[in-house]
Chain A
Amino acid sequence: MREIDVKDITAAVKEAAIAANHELGEDLLHALAHGQATEESPTGREVFRLLLENARIARENRIPICQDCGLAVVFVDLGQDVHLVGGHLNDAIQAGVRQGYEEGYLRKSLCHPLTRKNTGDNTPAVIYTTIVPGDRVKLTVVPKGGGSENMSRVHMLRPAAGLAGIKAKVVETVREAGANPCPPIIVGVGIGGTFEQAALLAKKALLREVGSKNPDPELAALEEEFLTLVNKTGIGPAGLGGRLTALAVHINMMPCHIASLPVAVNIQCHASRHKEVIL
């Protein structure tokens, strides 16, 4: 049994929220630079240049990459040999989000769904905890923007729709989103599971490094095929027309009920912010 004080979790979440909002990952920077070099549309190439410039200004001047500093989604992989002391895990995470958004000058973007009154501190964060082997805690803080989340969809297809039906839904979701989710986007696809599990699979797919290959060769091939299809829409960077509407398509799949074919498409903007900390 390894003891971890939850105040270390609060501190880690706070730092991760601030870092994620100011520093784009190397994988993303690389993908943007590649886009600038390969996009066919001159306007599109200019958009890539400006996004790289934006990332530089954010990092150097400590200004958030995007003013929508997101709803904080926190994934916790909790080792089963860890004994948490000093308080409750969820409270510690919420405290970390509260402190990070306040002290990091991040925008608080959560409100009551009906009165629309801002909660004032960007809590509650959405937390997913998984118990895993080992004596470590892995925290992944994902500030998720509203613009791209709004364009995401869950479809409960008939099994007869098959792979063709899945492809059509992915392309349709991207096409309908158009310029709204700040393309170039990353498309997370969850196939199978239940209604809510499909969405979670899609969201987790967004955490994979951009440019990495799916370890499942069947899914890796599908990802390439889906990416080609999505990039035929012509939406392009900032929606101004071009070949690179998406930087990547990531797919997660699991078995589903014999009566169902759930498909979730979680759209992620180019401000793909996530920060991982291991305690």
Chain B
Amino acid sequence: MPRTITLVTPLTDQDVEALEIGDTVLVNGVIYTARDAAHKRLVDLLAAGQPLPVDLRGQIMFYVGPSPARPGRVIGAAGPTTSYRMDPYAPQLLALGLKAMIGKGKRAPEVIAAMQTYKAVYLGAIGGAGALISQAIQEAEIVAYEDLGPEAIRRLVVENLPTIVINDCRGNDLYELGMQQYAQD
């Protein structure tokens, strides 16, 4: 029976271990945004032995490049982007203590393995529901790489951002399971 779990960041190993694929997770608290270009910069910093602009321990990274906020609004549309493009970078960030990623689409085996090693989960948000998801975002502020525009790293404060566990920290995959359940030959 699918469960609904409310989580508040930062996350602990216990929070992550309790999650199973198919669980609905309502995310609360501070989360960070990053997509392709920001990930490249973060990993370049690591390669150069430099500190990152945000401490990722216990944090959640949301793969999103929001549309601009209208005057008086917090943010524009803000749904997930496709996660596989972040696969080359994700294991290094998980090693630093990142506990969850929010995106859409399948992850590479290396990323799923890294989630097992470092105890992390991958949460799916509904792709293309950017207007709906934006309603859960209470605050948004750029904390790094403003020059990247939609790709800058933003600190968001969210209230009950709806997601579903796609990969738990035991190597299970909801996309695989869901597809098998409904596939016909």
What B residues does A153 contact at CB under 8 A?
Answer: none
A155 within 8 A of B: no
Interface flag for B26 (CB, 8 Å): no
Complex interface: chain B residues within 8 A of A54 (CB)? 126, 128-132
The answer to the question of B124 belonging to the interface, with a C-beta cut-off of 8 Å to chain A, is yes
* Contact of B37 with A233 in the complex, beta carbons under 8 Å: no
Give a binary string over A90-121; 1 marks a CB under 8 Å from any B CB, 0 the rest. Answer: 00000000000000011111000000101010
Cβ-closest chain A residue relative to B84:
A180
Instruction: Flag if B130 contacts A63 (CB, 8 Å).
Output: yes
Are the CB atoms of A107 and B67 closer together than 8 Å?
A: yes
Interface centre among A51, A150, A241, A243 (most CB of B within 10 A): A241
A63–B77 CB distance below 8 A? yes
A147-B82, A234-B179, A239-B104 known; A51 and B77 CB under 8 Å? no
Residues of B30-68 contacting chain A, CB below 8 A: 36-37, 64-68
Q: Which of chain A's residues 24-51 have a Cβ closer than 8 Å to chain B?
A: 40-41, 43, 47, 50-51
Give every chain B residue within 8 A of A233 (Cβ-Cβ). 179, 183
Please give, as numbers and ranges, the residues of chain A lying within 8 Å of B180 by CB-CB distance: 234, 241
Beyond A66-B79, A180-B82, is A234–B67 a contact (Cβ under 8 Å)? no
Contact stretch, chosen from B90-98, B110-118, B170-178 = B170-178
Q: Is B29 an interface residue when CB atoms closer than 8 A count as contact? A: no
Answer yes or no: A142 CB below 8 A from chain B CBs: no
Does chain A have a CB within 8 A of B134? yes
Bound Cα distance A275, B64 (Å): 25
Interface string of A42-78 (1 = CB under 8 A from B): 0100010011011101100111111111000000000
Closest approach, in angstroms, between the C-beta of A143 and any C-beta of chain B?
11
- Could you say which residues of chain A place their CB within 8 Å of the CB of B82? 146-147, 150, 180-181
- Whole-angstrom CA separation of A243 from B70 in the bound complex: 38
Are A57 and B179 within 8 A (Cβ)?
A: no
Q: Is the CB of A65 within 8 A of B130?
A: yes
Q: A242 on the interface (CB 8 Å rule)? A: yes
Chain B interface size band reads 35 or more
Interface of A is mostly: loop
In the complex, what distance in Å separates the CA atom of A236 from the CA atom of B177? 12
What residues of A have a CB within 8 angstroms of the CB of B124 in the complex?
179, 238-240
Q: A189 within 8 Å of B by Cβ?
A: no
The answer for the CA separation of A243 and B183 in the assembled complex, in Å, is 8
Counting CB contacts under 8 A, is A248 at the interface? no
**Which range holds the interface residue count of chain A?**
35 or more
Cα-based distance from A40 to B182 in the complex (angstroms): 9
Q: Which of the residues A40, A63, A178 comes within 8 Å of B131, measured between beta carbons?
A: A63
Q: Which residues of A contact B182 (CB under 8 A)?
A: 40-41, 234, 236, 241-243
Tell me the nearest residue of chain B to A232, going by C-beta.
B184
CB distance from B185 to the nearest CB of A (A): 7
Task: Please give me the residue from chain B that is nearest to A270 by CB atom.
Answer: B128
**Distance in Å from the Cβ of B179 to the closest Cβ of chain A?**
4
A64, A181, A234, A235: the one contacting B77 at CB < 8 Å is A64
**In the complex, A51 Cα to B66 Cα: how many Å?**
18
Contact for B128 among A107, A116, A146, A182, CB less than 8 A: A182
Most buried by A among B82, B84, B127: B127
Q: Are B127 and A67 in contact (CB under 8 A)?
A: no
Per a CB cutoff under 8 Å, which of B36, B66, B127, B131 touches A179? B127
Beyond the given A51-B128, A54-B129, please list 12 additional residue pairs across the A-B interface where CB-CB is below 8 A: A54-B132, A57-B132, A68-B65, A105-B67, A107-B66, A118-B150, A179-B106, A182-B127, A232-B185, A238-B104, A241-B175, A270-B128
> Which positions in B face A, CB cutoff 8 Å?
2, 36-37, 64-70, 76-79, 81-82, 84, 104-106, 124, 126-132, 134-135, 148-151, 164, 174-175, 177-185
Could you list 30 examples of A-B contacts with CB < 8 Å?
Answer: A40-B182, A47-B126, A55-B131, A57-B131, A57-B132, A58-B131, A63-B67, A64-B67, A64-B77, A65-B77, A65-B128, A66-B79, A67-B79, A67-B130, A67-B150, A105-B70, A107-B66, A107-B68, A116-B37, A147-B82, A147-B104, A147-B105, A179-B105, A179-B124, A182-B104, A182-B127, A182-B128, A234-B183, A235-B179, A271-B128
